[in-house]
Amino acid sequence: MGKKSLKKISVFLSTVMLMVSMMSIMAFATPPIAPDAPTKGSLTITKDGAEFKAYKVLNANQNASAQCYDYSVTPEFSDFFGNVDYGNYTVDGIKNLTADQMKVFGENLHKFVIEKSLVANMIISSSVKTEVDFGYYLVLESSGTSGGSVVVSTPMITSVPAVSGDAWQYDVTLYPKDNDQILSKKIVEGSNRVDTSSANIGDTIKYEVKSLVPRYSSNLTKVKYKFTDTMSKGLTYDEATGITIKIGSEILQGALDGDPDAANKHYVVKKTMNADETTTIEITFNYEKIKAYSLAEIILSYQARLNEKALIKTNANVGNVNNVKLEYTNNPNVEGSVKELNSKVTTYTWGLGLKKVDANNITKDLEGAEFKITDSADINTGNVLGKYTYNAAGEVVILSGNLTTNGKGEVAVTGLKDGDYFIHEVKAPAGYSLLKAPVKVTITATKDAGNNYTGAATIAVTNGNEAGSIVSPVTMKDNNVLFNVQIKNYSGISLPTTGGIGTDGFVKIAISLLAIVAVSGVVYLAIEKKKRA
């Protein structure tokens, strides 16, 4: 391509660079050039921890008679202009580009640099004032050290010198802006979004992940944007429901790994069962299909069931964790420049061991007592809770029938959220009386200042029924730790609602016995009188 010139070019320099469109060539009248004007300028780029490459696209030479700068194409970019593969631009046409068109112009320059493997004219470190020849420059961030969870700034274009107000500015400063990236995972509880929750084994836990679709140059093809969700062994991914991904009101179309049509979908989902019993769900996006939504919020929704392998403790910081990791291209100008964000939520659950003993000798264990646990003092109207127990092998299984104490007087129910529970005895051990009223226990979870569950909890008998008492926690074969409730049975008589038999109990029993004796005496006297007659 031959030499081309563009007269009376001025460049608008914005204080803050958001993208290439913030710097454009304009065909306005330019201020006069002073006789003692500098013959070189400087370029300073301010962004902590970053480094930049500057490519000179056009030369700028002072035209004293015309009081302007003449621009001509540098040899390195001679094949760019007039090339349909890169937008078919002309130097004269640059001044007519709109802001959006300037952005595309910068992206095409970036594409040309990559495909032609051009070497930068200079390397510019952050905040270092660097002397440059007059010209028109493409500036790309080249370091991978940009701090924070960001996608680095898009290509920038600037002219040195540039027009600022009614004067030429020979020392040009750029302030590139990164696109901030976010990652937030929450548990969905109705209209609330929380970081921690409490659940029963068997409950469904709904998850929501929010992020932003990153913005890159439109010509880029190798961009990584991938979510990896890892569910602990106590969580079972709901494959039947799957994943729903939305941007605004639009639901994106996904495919399962191996689907022959996956390349035409927005994303691909791959599920892996790991050796440690965790589950990994990978959601890999086809950036070409979502780049039109750049900087828009993206929402992923899916769910899992709290299963029989849930971790159960009574102390803090031990729960059933669901972690999501986002990997995304941080700097497309640096090969392998990928950043990572993580966000996690935790669900806690607890359990009860029941220990049945003789009220007069608590070292005597009682076998064969049967219980139901409900959410109401009335066994006929309450919902049955505690649907999971341990079998003889120490495995968590679905409860079939009632909770029945073994030869050690023990039975356990596992996977209970915090709250109130009523322990109803529905069958007493042989030779013992049935509890007259349920034992109510309350599991109270500890929360931090942010109202998040910590995993720690306490338990107490909360209806005054002295048949029940809290004893030392019990550790099961799977190392889960359960609260332990001791329940006493009396033989021969019915257990009152609260406390022991008491004086009133003995008085009532005595009166009943006296009444029986009195009636018997009357009958005996009547018989004797009849005989004498």
What are the pLDDT digits (tens) for 436-476?
999 999 999 999 999 999 999 999 999 999 999 999 999 99
| Structural domain includes residue 246 | yes
- Cβ neighbour number for residue 4 with a 10 Å cutoff: 16
Dist. CA 330–CA 113, nearest whole Å: 19
Of the candidates 179, 196, 219, which is a domain's last residue?
179
| Structural domain includes residue 158 | yes
What are the pLDDT digits (tens) for 169-192?
899 988 876 667 789 999 999 999
Confidence class for position 332, pLDDT limits 50, 70, 90: confident
260 and 225 belong to one structural domain: yes
Q: What letter represents residue 388's amino acid?
A: Y
- Mean residue pLDDT across the chain: 84
Of the candidates 346, 367, 384, which is a domain's last residue?
346
| Structural domain includes residue 2 | no
Helix/strand/coil (H, E, C) string of 296-365? CEEEEEEEEEECCCCCCCCCCCCCEEEEEEEEEECCCCCCCCEEEEEEEEEEECEEEEEEEEECCEEEEE
What are the pLDDT digits (tens) for 260-310?
999 999 999 999 999 999 999 999 999 989 988 877 899 999 999 999 999
165 and 244 belong to one structural domain: no
Q: Name residues whose C-beta falls within 8 Å of residue 350's C-beta, 6 or more positions apart in sequence.
A: 312, 314, 416, 417, 418, 443, 457, 459, 482, 483
**Rounded average pLDDT over 95-102:** 87
Q: What letter represents residue 6's amino acid?
A: L
237 and 307 belong to one structural domain: yes
Looking at per-residue pLDDT, the higher value among 249 and 300 belongs to: 300
| Structural domain includes residue 428 | yes
Residue 332 structural domain: 181-346
Residue 405 in this model has a pLDDT that exceeds 60: yes
| Structural domain includes residue 73 | yes
| Contact criterion met (CB below 8 Å) for 217 and 329 | no
| Contact criterion met (CB below 8 Å) for 89 and 81 | yes
Q: What is the CATH number of the domain that holds 419?
A: 2.60.40.10
Q: Name residues whose C-beta falls within 8 Å of residue 479's C-beta, 6 or more positions apart in sequence.
A: none
Per the structure, how many domains does the chain have? 4
Of the candidates 346, 375, 403, which is a domain's last residue?
346
The pair of structure tokens assigned to 377 is 């003092």
Dist. CA 226–CA 212, nearest whole Å: 12
| Structural domain includes residue 5 | no
- Would you state the pLDDT for residue 178? 67
